[in-house]
Amino acid sequence: MRKPEQVGLLAVALILVVGLPLGNLLPPSSPLHVSNFTLNLFGKFLTYAILALGLDLLWGYAGVLSLGHGVFFGLGAYAMGMHLMLEIGSKSVYQSALPDFMVWNQVKDLPLFWRPFYSAPFTLVAIVLVPALCALVFGFLAFRSRVRGVYLSIITQALAMSAWLVFNRNEMNLGGTNGLADFKTIFGVPLNQPSTQRMLYVVTAIMLVAAWALCRWITQSRAGKVLVAIRDSETRVLFSGYSPASYKLFVFVISASLAGVAGALYAPQVGIITPAKMGVLPSIEMVVWVAAGGRGTLIGAVLGAIGVNWIQSWLTTSYPDLWLLFLGALFMSVVLFIPDGVVGALGRLAQRLRRPSASSLDAPLLGQATLGSSRARGSDTTV
Amino acid sequence: MKRLLVLLVVAWLAGPPASHAQSPEAAKALADLVVDDADKREAARDAIRQIERWGLLVRTVETVFQGASLASILLLMALGLAIVFGLMGVINMAHGELMALGAYSTFVVQNVFRARWPQHFDAYFVVALPVSFMVAALVGVVLERGVIRRLYGRPLETLLLTWGASLIIQQALRLYFGAANVDVSSPTWLSGGFALMTGLRLPFNRLFIIGLASVSVAAMYWLLFRTDTGLRIRAVTQNRSMSSCLGVRAGWVDATTFALGAGLAGLAGCALTQIGNVGPSLGQNYIVDSFMVVVTGGVGKLLGTILAAAGIGGLNKGIEPALGAVFAKVAILIAVILFLQRRPAGLFATRGRGAEA
């Protein structure tokens, strides 16, 4: 990695981890003041960024396009949400030890699978382990039988669809369509206080940096090189004596765990988790964050998640009708014009500016590969 | 299974119970007779048995019919998808929205008939079928020529691209027609049903869909295997560059194929107006199911699609009474994943070098 990029990354990390919370501490009259609302909003964006990192690892590096990451996000969020629901205890509307929705649904005893979530350490483990185990089972079955490419994408989409259907059911005892909401405290600290939200934000930002470091470590390692090789030619990797299925399974599980962590940080900051967050549409929206930011570059995934969601929160409040049109147009234009995302396109632009006559050999691998193949394809489709 | 078959045959031979014996009260009265009246005990027992057997027969036939009905809906939807996916390697995520376009075309045609020719209202559906085919095909051609053709050979990218297109079409429909469902009324000749046997009436609209699916499949077979166009389509599928060298206009073939697939989606949407709600998110409700059919069936083989539609439709309706609609869908997903363990590329996989796309 070159020097200026390192400095830039460090600056971004510092602004996110230290700058925004400090801005929040400043008095409202200060020009650098960051309101509670903005900080909370960014906390949400950063959880998305953690998820986008995992998704980028899976798609941008290993070439596995999952359209079901909302499920893992949801599982993490529900695990956290269940603990928060139990923490409410009898302070709820119905003053029952059970969560309110169970009172409505006339559930008398706490279902067995809810019980372990009384324990905070168990919850923290479950946040990672539940999505990871689901991903392990699903990924094992899928990758072992060499389900790949669009087949895998469609199967994961069906997974998102099924999870959404199941979590919507009241008899699952997970709150049905309304999901889990109305949290009061987190690990004993009241959630509605600005200091708690600031703390949550800082934790999220630190987790994001940690997730980035983890992904970077993986991509720089030998395994990371194998992943890229799998993306570019899986058969050749197989014939070279590697087992693509194990590598893909590994990265799928890592990616699902990151999504779970993201979900767990999302639930207390947003204050609600519903099945709508794990359906087909949110899952594929996650893919467009990565695509727009630049897949195959970790920083691209982070910037994409923050950028697209920033635009979304602005558009859905100012012009709610336009959001889906914009999202659709974003999908299409990213795929058509900048397959390597904003970061990749900027990188190519910078390269061209630096050395006007440079050969394309040094350009980012992904962008060149896709652009090159489109050119080659173009020639035989237009005959 | 054998026992069930024997029971069904016995029930069929015995014929339906007399009409006054079919109400639940009758069964209860008969049960009382068994307990109270020693003389009539045997006769009452026989009568109860006959009612129960007949009920079983009716339920079985009904389940089979519902399975066939769902299978033909899936088939109608998956047919267009499978053709485009199989012949061009394009995952068309906008297929569901093309269906919605077909459904809305039907709605518009209906409104035109209601306003202009109310006396011929029943004929609107006959006009709506080709109109919805044409509208969807036209949008399909625009999509294909406009954007998709730039991305051949990159299935994951076309998947995202068509998803983007689907969002735009969906939102455009919502903005123009409103977010609420619109009302499409059935023509009189599609309402009502055919009384197959005592206690069972097969609705005409379901029968019509089964018929439409059969005709579409037959037409696709004829087109692909009996016409010059089909020959060209198959040639481009097998070897694009070689066909181009031999003078087949590959771009034109792509456009035709895509239009055909899109048109079939429009047709499916038109048919769906008769059995379901018509709203902007109509496509979303069905798209995942039809993808499962395509994945299970394998790429580029019509027979695979047909068998997969029949299998998934039948299985779904078969286990729905036991598990409920939601868990039946989950069970189907698990079944498909397990099935892919045995056959990773679907029922009929392409083998050899060509398989490595």
pLDDT string in tens for chain B (357-residue length): 677 777 777 777 777 666 555 566 676 777 777 777 777 777 777 777 777 777 788 888 888 888 888 888 888 888 888 888 877 778 888 999 999 999 999 999 999 998 888 888 888 888 999 999 999 999 999 999 988 888 877 778 888 899 899 999 999 999 999 888 888 888 877 777 777 777 677 888 888 888 999 999 999 889 988 999 889 988 888 888 888 899 888 888 889 989 999 999 999 999 888 888 888 888 877 888 888 888 888 766 788 888 888 888 888 888 888 888 888 888 888 888 888 877 776 766 655 444 444
Cα(A259)–Cα(A114) distance, rounded to whole angstroms? Answer: 21
Tens of pLDDT, residue by residue over A218-243, are 999 998 999 999 988 888 998 999 99
State mean pLDDT over A339-351. Answer: 85
Q: Which of A144, A151, A281 sits opposite B295 (nearest CB)?
A: A151
Higher-confidence residue of B17 and A290: namely A290
| CB atoms A383 and B330 under 8 Å | no
Chain A interface disruption, residue of B170, B337, B350, most A CBs within 10 A: B337
Q: What is the ipTM of this complex?
A: 0.80
Q: Which pLDDT score, from 0 to 100, does residue B24 have?
A: 64
**A54 is a domain residue:** yes
Count of other CB atoms within 10 angstroms of residue B315 = 18
Beta carbons of A327 and B163 less than 8 Å apart: no
**Could you tell me which residue, A96 or A161, shows the higher pLDDT?**
A161
Between chains, do B345 and A166 touch, taking CB under 8 Å as contact? no
Relative to beta strand A180-181, strand B193-197 is unpaired
Cβ B164–A331 below 8 Å, yes or no? yes
**Spatial separation of the C-alpha atoms in residues A225 and A229, rounded to whole Å:** 6
Q: What is the spatial distance between Cα A341 and Cα A303, in angstroms, rounded to a whole number?
A: 10
Residue A220 Cα to chain centre, angstroms: 21
pTM over 0.90: no
How many whole angstroms separate alpha carbon A35 and alpha carbon A198? 11
Among A109, A107, A73, A101, which Cα is nearest to A85's? A101
- Is B157 within 8 Å of A165 when comparing Cβ atoms? no
Q: Is B217 in a helix, a strand, or coil?
A: helix
Q: Indicate yes or no: CB of A154 within 8 angstroms of CB of B291.
A: yes
Chain A hits for B96, Cβ within 8 Å:
none
Note whether A159 contacts B: Cβ–Cβ < 8 A.
Answer: yes
Q: Judge: B171–A321 Cβ closer than 8 Å, yes or no.
A: yes
Chain A contact set for B85 (CB, 8 A): 150
CA–CA separation, A344 vs A303, rounded Å?
Answer: 12
Contact A336 B150 (CB under 8 A): yes
**Which pLDDT belongs to residue A382?**
29
Contacts of B147 in chain A (CB under 8 A): 332, 336
- pLDDT value at A1 more than 70: no
pLDDT band at A266 (very low <50, low <70, confident <90, very high): very high
> Which of A96-100, A110-114, A321-325, B136-140 has the highest average model confidence (pLDDT)?
B136-140
Contact B326 A169 (CB under 8 A): yes
Residue B17's region, left for phi above 0, alpha for psi from -120 to 50, else beta, is beta
CA distance B326 to A167: 10
Cα distances (angstroms) measured from residue B116 to each of A40, B104, B119, B129:
57, 18, 9, 18
Of B147, B240, B338, the CB nearest to A380: B240
Structure token digits, residue B82: 């499978």
The whole-angstrom separation of Cα A227 and Cα A234 is 9
Q: Look at chain A and report how many structural domains it folds into.
A: 1
Asked whether the beta carbons of residue A325 and residue B172 sit closer than 8 angstroms, the reply is yes
Domain of residue A47 covers: 39-280
Residue, of B151 and A287, whose pLDDT is higher: A287
Q: Could you give the CA distance from residue A370 to residue A294 in angstroms, rounded to a whole number?
A: 13
Rounded CA Rg of chain A: 22
Nearest to B160 among A335, A374, A377 (CB): A335
Domain map (residue ranges) of chain B: 79-355
Element (H, E) at B193: strand B193-197
The CA distance from B308 to B217, in Å, is: 14
Q: With contacts defined as CB-CB under 8 Å, which chain B residues touch A324?
A: 167-168, 170-171, 174
Nearest-neighbour CA in chain B from A296: distance (Å): 15
Is A327's CB within 8 Å of B167's CB?
yes
Size of interface A-B (CB pairs under 8 A): 142
Instruction: Looking at chain B, list the stretches that DSSP marks H as alpha helix, in order from N- to C-terminal side.
Output: 2-14, 24-36, 41-88, 95-116, 124-146, 155-177, 204-226, 228-238, 240-245, 250-272, 282-297, 302-323, 325-342
Check residue A188 and give its pLDDT: 82
The pLDDT score that the predictor gives to residue B98 is: 93
Q: Which residue type sits at A118?
A: Y
Contact B349, A167 (CB under 8 A): no
DSSP SS3 for B301: coil
User: Cα–Cα distance between A313 and B104 in angstroms, integer?
Assistant: 31
SS3 B93: coil
Give me the pLDDT at residue A54, please.
94
pLDDT digits (tens, 9 = 90+) for A123-164: 999 999 999 999 999 999 888 887 777 888 888 988 998 899
Please give, one letter per residue, the 3-state secondary structure of chain A.
Answer: CCHHHHHHHHHHHHHHHHHHHHHHHCCCCCCCCCCHHHHHHHHHHHHHHHHHHHHHHHHHHCCCCCCCHHHHHHHHHHHHHHHHHHHHHHHCCCCCCCCHHHHHCCCCCCCHHHHHHHCHHHHHHHHHHHHHHHHHHHHHHHHHCCCCHHHHHHHHHHHHHHHHHHHCCHHHCCCHHHCEECCCEECCEECCCHHHHHHHHHHHHHHHHHHHHHHHHHHHCHHHHHHHHHHHCHHHHHHCCCCHHHHHHHHHHHHHHHHHHHHHHHHHHHCEECHHHHCHHHHHHHHHHHHHHCCCCHHHHHHHHHHHHHHHHHHHHHCCCHHHHHHHHHHHHHHHHCCCHHHHHHHHHHHHHHCCCCCHHHCCHHHHHHHHHHHHHHHHHCC
Pairwise CA distance, residues B133 & B139, whole Å: 10
Q: Alpha-carbon distance B114 to B123, whole Å?
A: 11
**Given pLDDT bands bounded at 50, 70 and 90, which one contains residue A34?**
confident
Q: What is the pLDDT of residue B351?
A: 53
Q: Judge: B154–A373 Cβ closer than 8 Å, yes or no.
A: yes
In a domain, A17, yes or no: no
* Residue of chain A whose alpha carbon sits nearest to that of B325: A165
Residue contact A373–B160, C-beta within 8 A: no
- Provide the percentage of residues in chain A whose pLDDT is more than 70: 91
Query: Within 10 A of A304 (CB to CB), how many other CB atoms are there?
Result: 30
In chain A, which residues have their Cβ closer than 8 Å to the Cβ of B157?
335, 339, 370
Strand A272-273, strand A189-190: pairing: unpaired
Q: Which of A157, A331, A335 sits opposite B167 (nearest CB)?
A: A331
Q: Is residue A1 part of a domain?
A: no
Nearest residue in chain B measured CA to CA from A235 = B356
Has residue A257 been placed in a domain? yes
Residue A264 has pLDDT above 60, yes or no: yes
Q: Which of B160, B291, B338 sits opposite A287 (nearest CB)?
A: B160
The answer to whether the CB atoms of A158 and B292 lie below 8 A apart is yes
List chain A residues with CB under 8 Å of B340: 142, 145, 147, 151, 155
Rounded to the nearest angstrom, the gap between the alpha carbon of residue B174 and the centroid of all alpha carbons in its chain is 24
In this complex, do B326 and A150 lie within 8 Å of one another by their Cβ atoms? no
Fold of B79-355: ABC transporter involved in vitamin B12 uptake, BtuC (1.10.3470)
Residue A160 inside a domain? The answer is: yes
What is the nearest CA distance from A263 to chain B, expressed in angstroms? 23
Restricting to A residues 271-300, those with a Cβ less than 8 Å away from any Cβ of B are: 280-281, 284, 287-288, 291
Nearest-by-CA chain B residue for A150: B156
Q: Which of A299, A308, A289 is nearest to A347 (CA)?
A: A299
**Is residue A222, in this structure, part of any structural domain at all?**
yes
User: CA angle at residue A137 from A134 to A139, to 5 degrees?
Assistant: 95
CB contact under 8 A, B171 and A328: yes
Say whether residue A152 is in contact with chain B using an 8 A CB cutoff: no
Most confident of A9-13, A300-304, B329-333: A300-304
Query: Given an 8 Å threshold on Cβ–Cβ distance, is A150 in contact with B249?
Result: no
- Is B163 within 8 Å of A284 when comparing Cβ atoms? yes
- Per-residue model confidence as pLDDT tens digits over A164-216: 988 988 888 888 888 888 888 888 888 888 888 888 999 999 999 999 999 99
Which residues of chain A make contact with B294, given a CB cutoff of 8 A? 154
Task: Tell me which residue has tokens 């199989």.
Answer: B86
User: What is the residue-averaged pLDDT of chain A?
Assistant: 84
Q: Is A171 on the interface with B (CB under 8 A)?
A: no
Nearest CA in chain B to A153: B156
Q: Are B150 and A374 in contact (CB under 8 A)?
A: yes
Give the DSSP letter of residue B278.
B
